[in-house]
Amino acid sequence: MLPLADTQFVEATWIMVVKSLVIFAVIFGILPLMTVLERKLIGRFQHRYGPNRVGPFGLLQPLADVGKLISKEAFRPANAIGTLFILGPLLPVLSGVLALAIIPWGDVQGGVGFYGIDVPIGILYFFAVGSIAFYGLLLGGWASGSKYSLLGAMRGAAQLISYEVAMGLALLGVIMMGGSLSLVDIVHAQGALWYVVPQFVGFLIFMLAGFAETNRTPFDMPEADAELVQGFMTEYGGMRFGSFLLVEYMEILVVSGVAAAMFLGGWMGPGPSFLDPIWMLAKMLGLVLVFIWVRATLPRLRYDQLMSLGWKVLLPLATLNVLVTAVLVVTT
């Protein structure tokens, strides 16, 4: 029986509300800056500057982008299915915001836990909520009434089943070593040694699956702007398209947050304890940089290549990792 998170820990309702608002405000302040960061870094990777016209260093570029997207017509194809078409971009936003809740930003300090909520089932919640995002993708792609969207959605479904198992197994090693499902407890268990060292294989598999989870290169088959003209997003315009983009960055942050908490020691770092959220954010942004770096480097894999990578390489490797970890945990 795994010890669960402390379910007896209670906070006042107003503290919960304030916490949620702060997390929400900070993340939604970071998201637009991430888009600029990505475009500027991709530019640098290709000997260019990237956006540098709007505002100082191009920092106001997302404002201009959002202004443009909002002013666009909310177009809907004639043979689209109305309600599902509108639901398409909403579900991923919902899942992204829900998943943010379990990212631990710090320990309990002065009666306030520096996290949205410490769910007893912890990482399972991340999987449960994260998978909802794919419903948005599938519904949106199918309800668009366009062959490109449908192809993108089908690819998304095939991609989901290829990496999700390996992703879960990759985290299983950490859960066994930490002896808990709660992210807060797992971070506590990394006081002596970050799990990226003993669970390096698990970290690699989780990051690879994370690229697939967030539909990023080299696994951006559902989007595939070259062959499927943005796949499931083809028929979306205006802010609906914008929210799909927003969600992509939010998912990157969530995956980076989970990876930072599970493998990189979460909020742990030198300095006084009020710096903990800063450390967590720094580790997350470090992983975001890896996402951008990989996007600048790797071409898109073929559809069947991802399937064979997921089933033939990642899954056996993750299983082996779990077995070895289990033996080591039991014997030592």
Partner 1 sequence: MAEFPYLKDQDVVEVQRGPEPGGVGGAYRAFGETLRGLKTTMARLIEGPLTIEYPEEKTPVYPRFRGRHKLHKFEDTGLEKCVGCSLCAAACPADCIRVVAAENVPGERVSAGERFAAIYEINLSRCIFCGYCEIACPFDAITMGHDYEMADYDRTNLIFTKEMLLAEPIERTPLRAEGE
Radius of gyration of the chain (CA): 20
CB count within 10 Å of CB 40 equals 20
CB of 115 or CB of 211, closer to partner 1:
211
CB of 48 or CB of 147, closer to partner 1:
48
CB count within 10 Å of CB 109 equals 11
Least distance between partner 1 and beta carbon 270 (Å): 27
| Distance in angstroms (rounded) separating the CA atoms of residues 326 and 274 | 36
Q: Which of 161, 101, 107 is nearest to 126 (CA)?
A: 101
Least distance between partner 1 and beta carbon 45 (Å): 5
Least distance between partner 1 and beta carbon 88 (Å): 33
CB of 161 or CB of 298, closer to partner 1:
298
CB of 38 or CB of 276, closer to partner 1:
38
| Distance in angstroms (rounded) separating the CA atoms of residues 4 and 123 | 11
Least distance between partner 1 and beta carbon 326 (Å): 23
Angstrom CA distances, 10 to 24, 111, 113, 194, 286, stand at: 21, 9, 10, 29, 33
CB of 108 or CB of 290, closer to partner 1:
290
The token pair at 43 is 């530019």
Least distance between partner 1 and beta carbon 310 (Å): 12
Tell me which residues touch partner 1 (CB under 8 A): 41, 43-49, 293-294, 296-298, 308, 312-313
| Distance in angstroms (rounded) separating the CA atoms of residues 327 and 97 | 37
| Distance in angstroms (rounded) separating the CA atoms of residues 210 and 166 | 10
CB of 134 or CB of 211, closer to partner 1:
211
Least distance between partner 1 and beta carbon 262 (Å): 22
Q: Which of 309, 318, 135, 303 is nearest to 232 (CA)?
A: 135
DSSP states of 50-99:
-S-SSSGGGTTHHHHHHHHHHTS-----TTS-HHHHHHHHHHHHHHHHHH
CB of 28 or CB of 293, closer to partner 1:
293
CB of 60 or CB of 278, closer to partner 1:
60
**324: Cα separation from own chain's centroid:** 27
Maximum separation of any 2 CA atoms in the chain, in Å:
64
Least distance between partner 1 and beta carbon 162 (Å): 15
